[in-house]
Amino acid sequence: MTENKPLRETLRQLLALLEGERQALAELDLERILTCADGKLELCNRIEMQAQGRLDEECSGLLDAVARLNEINRKLRNLIAANVETRLGALTGRIGVYDSGRPAALRGMQR
């Protein structure tokens, strides 16, 4: 179990960073979001170097928690992006990037 201690610590750091990223997304703090993205890349590189052989139960649990939180954050980023796209479309008079709101007969016609 001692051999996985550095990996466990790195996974805990990544979990904390992902929680911070979720807060940054909720606050729309762009600087912090970018800092978290850089931190995730660095920690993932470290994890790749540290993950040798079979993972113990604690590391597997931490890795699962990291994956779930990363997926939650990804969905939140996508929701924010969709919201921004909708709001920009409303401001510019566009329905959407893919014109999904236009009837099929009108798709492809110039506005």
From 98, 103, 8, 4, select the one nearest 53 (Cα to Cα).
4
Put simply, whether the predicted model's pTM sits higher than 0.85 gets the answer no
* E strand spans, the chain: none
pLDDT of the residue at 52 = 84
pLDDT at residue 2 above 70?
no
What structural domains and CATH numbers belong to the chain?
2-92 (1.20.58)
pLDDT of the residue at 35 = 98
* Digit-coded pLDDT (tens) for 76-95: 999 999 999 999 988 988 76
* Digit-coded pLDDT (tens) for 14-69: 999 999 999 999 999 999 999 999 999 999 999 999 988 889 999 999 999 999 99
Joined together, the tokens standing for residue 96 give: 């959407």
First CA to last CA across the chain, in angstroms?
65
Q: Which of 11-15, 37-41, 102-106 has the lowest mean pLDDT?
A: 102-106
Residue 75, helix vs strand vs coil = helix
Share of the chain above pLDDT 90, in %: 68
